[in-house]
Structure 1
Amino acid sequence: MSYRFANCSLDPERHTFLREGKPVHVEPQVFELILALVKQSGLLVTKEELIDTVWRGLNVSDATISARINAARKAVGDNGREQAIIKTVHGRGFQLIAEVSSLEGAGLAKPTEFEVSSQSIRFAASVDGAQIAYAQSGTGPPLIRVGHWLSHLELDWQSSVWRPLIDALGQDHTLYRYDQRGTGLSTRVLESPDLDVFVADLKAVADANDLDRFPVFAASQAVPVAIRFAQKHPDRVSGLVLYGGFAVGRALRPAAPDDIDETTLLSLIRAGWGRADSPFVQAFASLSLPDATPQQMESFVKMQMETVSPENAARLRQIVDRFHVRDSLPKVKAPTLVIHANADAMQPIEQGRVLASEIPNARYVALESRNHIPLPQEPSWSQMVEETQRFLESLG
């Protein structure tokens, strides 16, 4: 379902907001606030209802609500004096008073144009000739997001799980991100690659774009790749943001009491990959994004089948679970920010502490979250984005 009102268009599935046909960047909470008002289409939305919808029932101040309302007004081209679109009903709540029309399942033509003009997909040849698909978006100094287990450049661009992160990283940077080999639009063939092959894929993307020195954002199993790259090419990495990562892969560290053994996990992957009702999807979701909305879960399951085959998913899981870069940590010279969810069940927080304590002068931030994949509706989302943007700004 997509919506139009005044001169604005809002598409929740693609997480896009346009005014006069042009994309407008809004923070995730502001997007949710506008959506909550749009869905009520002229009806009063109380502060309590906004808190339940946007802040998931958390205790937030009137000043916080007011700041988000002001940001929403700025996004739609309104202001607190005229209130031509968003009206304040003092002591009660807010109304979106512009007429709203909805498009059931049709999507919006303008966001498609936005996607074409804002994301450019190309291919880089890696060391063994493998073709690595990468995308460029945003404006500003370069930033590379390292490829990880589940990505698809085209689907990520429309995903309610990944698009908010892409927008946040590309707000002040030219963002380069790529599909890990074996997945997405990249070469699907996996011929026993080791960690250094994945490092070569990162280098291939940087070389293809003539990037001499740049910061890196890496999440989950992309973290060991980024660390090894920073060790091998210290002159090229200006900074590292490491989210939810590890130094020692799951298969090489002592098993936690509730860990699924590898044989069982691989069997579940092969049997249930991409099936919403399979035991694997339920188990994987509980580990990766337990607080996902139904829409986010649907997007996540769809991505599974179109991103990687069941056999490649299992093979990649075997490979990345054997990454080991602990000996590289003291050799990292780049400024580093380590961010980790404190209740992450996929990669335990102890691994985040290892990274932060053994990389020289690394800064450590723990998030109040249980989601391995960051979700924009979480209170911790804003903290993650703000910490990342502040760190990148500090690099100059």
Structure 2
Amino acid sequence: MKKILSAILAADMFGYSRLMENGEIDVITRQSQYLKDIIQPEILNRNGTLIKTTGDGFLAIFNTVQESVESAIAIQTRMILMEEPLPHDQKIQYRLGINAGDLILNDNDIFGDSVNIAARLEGLSVPDGICLSDIIYQLINDDTKNLFEDLGSQRVKNISRPIKVWQWDPRSQKVERKKSSEELQQQVQFCLSEDDAQIAFARVGTGATILKAPNWLNHIEYEWRSPIWGPLLNKIATQHELIRFDQRGGGLSDWDVSKISEDRMISDMINVVHAAGLERFTLLGISQGCAFSIRYAFENPEKVNGLILFGGYVRGRLMRNSEESKILHETAQSLIAAGWGSNNPAFRTFFTSSFIPDATVQQASSFDELQRVSTSAKNGARIQQMNATVDVSELAKQLKIPCLVLHCEGDQITPHDEGRRMAALIPGSQFVTLEGNNHALIESTPAFDKFVLEVTNFVKGLS
């Protein structure tokens, strides 16, 4: 028996008795899977210790306050996404409470007032939410503080003094996103490629048509509701008809395909355009999608009235005559082979921290999950290899259509110089440098707002 100072995370399942009454085997099966795939990995990934599990909850401790809160947000974010397809009365919804203080550790259990307060805090939380004591709130960083709302002083059972409480409520985090989703419902369809692979595409919105080429990781349904891509896709679809598709080998398209290549990507784009009945449109390329958009536009100039290229390149990592780019490619391939799809998110965190270093904990967790659901390790490596060997420099020089190129100044995946090089090769193209270090566009950042403004004005100018 010993006394230690820790941050304590307590969790219980909202409506546990009702859920068990309606289908205990299903609930226990899902709960066990979430414990293995989400809860334990997210606790371990932030240096926490899972002390014990109960029928309807769990207890964990952490060495730092910041890591306890990051772990809680990551767990709730992933749980919400996994349970979203289910009817409301069948969802597993945890409530989490976090406190810090001295506790007694004895025989793989913990005791003390600080533990009791954490347990009382979770009882104050909304389903899928998190409640913090004020001592926790005061010690987390400002970006994380901004995610919590002041609930004031609360009295809880068996604690004599009032406790100041702060709450993370996913409903308030997603108010604008939910409203947009209710107003805009995308339609998912499928078409067949030349080699009989099924390619999934989605269309939503009205107005001038924008076709988005796939970037490295895609899942047209997951992205639509994610805090990373969802806000941007909704912004575009409120003013335009937006069509996207999942590349072969990932998302809702066929994963078991014999070929993943530049030629197949272009033929799949042609088939999606035909299946969607598109006559003329603006082509949006993000990251890898820039190179493929350039080739498609060169080979099909009658279809494309303008190009929007963000965070991309004309030459892949192995085509840049750069030892650093070669090492980055080989490192990424090794990490994909070693840890893609692993229950331990540490492997995926390598990519997340490079793609979106300025993201919130919730956004980073969603991007981690996108990697897991978007494709397999084998296909992820095949797509990476395809991208590394692409070079459309000569085609870019011959384009004769309006083009807008945008790139974040601190992009850690594709250097700013590669975006500027792309703009220099395309005759008459506009080049816009965006603030920030992200390779993806995240809502409520200057880069996001500037991108939306520039794209809106560019598309208007094409009509």
- TM-score computed with the length of structure 2 as normaliser: 0.60
User: How much has 1:345 moved relative to structure 2?
Assistant: 1.4
Alignment partner, residue 43 of structure 2: none
Alignment partner, residue 330 of structure 1: 397
SS of the residue corresponding to residue 201 of structure 2 reads: strand
Matched, 1:304 2:371: yes
User: How much has 1:354 moved relative to structure 2?
Assistant: 1.4
The structure-2 alpha-carbon separation of the partners of 1:171 and 1:275, relative to structure 1 and needing over 3 Å to count, comes to: same
SS of the residue corresponding to residue 279 of structure 2 reads: coil
Matched, 1:231 2:298: yes
User: How much has 1:387 moved relative to structure 2?
Assistant: 0.5
Alignment partner, residue 354 of structure 1: 421
User: How much has 1:369 moved relative to structure 2?
Assistant: 1.3
Alignment partner, residue 152 of structure 2: none
Alignment partner, residue 242 of structure 2: 175
Q: 1:366 aligns with which of 405, 428, 433?
A: 433
The structure-2 alpha-carbon separation of the partners of 1:103 and 1:312, relative to structure 1 and needing over 3 Å to count, comes to: closer
Looking at structure 1, the residues matched to 401 and 369 of structure 2 have their Cα atoms a distance apart, in angstroms, of 37
User: How much has 1:334 moved relative to structure 2?
Assistant: 1.4
CA offsets per residue over residues 24-72 of structure 1, 9 Å max, x none?
Answer: xxxxxxxxxxxxxxx9xxxxxxxxxxxx769x9xxxxxxxxxxxxxxxx
Alignment partner, residue 287 of structure 1: 354
Looking at structure 1, the residues matched to 245 and 341 of structure 2 have their Cα atoms a distance apart, in angstroms, of 21
Matched, 1:155 2:213: no
The structure-2 alpha-carbon separation of the partners of 1:259 and 1:252, relative to structure 1 and needing over 3 Å to count, comes to: closer
Alignment partner, residue 49 of structure 1: none
Looking at structure 2, the residues matched to 317 and 148 of structure 1 have their Cα atoms a distance apart, in angstroms, of 11
Alignment partner, residue 241 of structure 1: 308
Alignment partner, residue 253 of structure 2: 186
> What amino acid is the match of 2:228?
V
CA offsets per residue over residues 327-374 of structure 1, 9 Å max, x none?
Answer: 101121210000011111111111111111111100000112110111
**Stretch deviating more after TM superposition (270-279 or 344-353):** 270-279
Q: Is the 8 A contact 2:191 2:275 kept in 1?
A: yes
The structure-2 alpha-carbon separation of the partners of 1:143 and 1:256, relative to structure 1 and needing over 3 Å to count, comes to: same
The structure-2 alpha-carbon separation of the partners of 1:291 and 1:114, relative to structure 1 and needing over 3 Å to count, comes to: closer
Structure 1, gaps ≥5 residues long: 1-11, 15-38, 40-51, 57-99
The structure-2 alpha-carbon separation of the partners of 1:177 and 1:115, relative to structure 1 and needing over 3 Å to count, comes to: farther
> What amino acid is the match of 2:253?
S
Q: Is the 8 A contact 1:149 1:183 kept in 2?
A: no
**Stretch deviating more after TM superposition (244-253 or 276-285):** 276-285
Alignment partner, residue 86 of structure 1: none
Larger radius of gyration: 2
Higher relative contact order (CA 8 A, sep 6+): 1
Q: Is the 8 A contact 2:188 2:200 kept in 1?
A: yes
SS of the residue corresponding to residue 418 of structure 2 reads: helix
User: How much has 1:283 moved relative to structure 2?
Assistant: 2.3
Matched, 1:268 2:345: no
User: How much has 1:117 moved relative to structure 2?
Assistant: 6.5
Q: Is the 8 A contact 2:214 2:244 kept in 1?
A: yes
Looking at structure 1, the residues matched to 170 and 214 of structure 2 have their Cα atoms a distance apart, in angstroms, of 34
Matched, 1:378 2:445: yes
Alignment partner, residue 3 of structure 1: none
User: How much has 1:212 moved relative to structure 2?
Assistant: 1.2
> What amino acid is the match of 2:428?
N
CA-based RMSD of the aligned residues comes to 3.0
User: How much has 1:258 moved relative to structure 2?
Assistant: 7.7
SS of the residue corresponding to residue 291 of structure 2 reads: helix
Q: 1:251 aligns with which of 301, 310, 318?
A: 318
% same residue? 34
SS of the residue corresponding to residue 437 of structure 2 reads: coil
> What amino acid is the match of 2:241?
T
> What amino acid is the match of 1:202?
M
The aligned runs of 1:1-396 (5 Å cut-off) are: 114=181, 118-255=185-322, 257=324, 260-275=327-342, 277-396=344-463
> What amino acid is the match of 1:327?
E
CA offsets per residue over residues 196-231 of structure 1, 9 Å max, x none?
Answer: 210111111111121111101110001111000000
User: How much has 1:191 moved relative to structure 2?
Assistant: 2.2
CA offsets per residue over residues 101-128 of structure 1, 9 Å max, x none?
Answer: x7889x99x9599569711000122222
The structure-2 alpha-carbon separation of the partners of 1:104 and 1:287, relative to structure 1 and needing over 3 Å to count, comes to: closer
More helix by share: 2
> What amino acid is the match of 1:193?
I
SS of the residue corresponding to residue 285 of structure 2 reads: strand
Looking at structure 2, the residues matched to 276 and 344 of structure 1 have their Cα atoms a distance apart, in angstroms, of 28
The structure-2 alpha-carbon separation of the partners of 1:271 and 1:278, relative to structure 1 and needing over 3 Å to count, comes to: farther
Looking at structure 1, the residues matched to 414 and 180 of structure 2 have their Cα atoms a distance apart, in angstroms, of 38
The structure-2 alpha-carbon separation of the partners of 1:276 and 1:344, relative to structure 1 and needing over 3 Å to count, comes to: farther
Q: Is the 8 A contact 2:201 2:243 kept in 1?
A: yes
- TM-score computed with the length of structure 1 as normaliser: 0.70
SS of the residue corresponding to residue 118 of structure 1 reads: coil
The structure-2 alpha-carbon separation of the partners of 1:259 and 1:367, relative to structure 1 and needing over 3 Å to count, comes to: farther
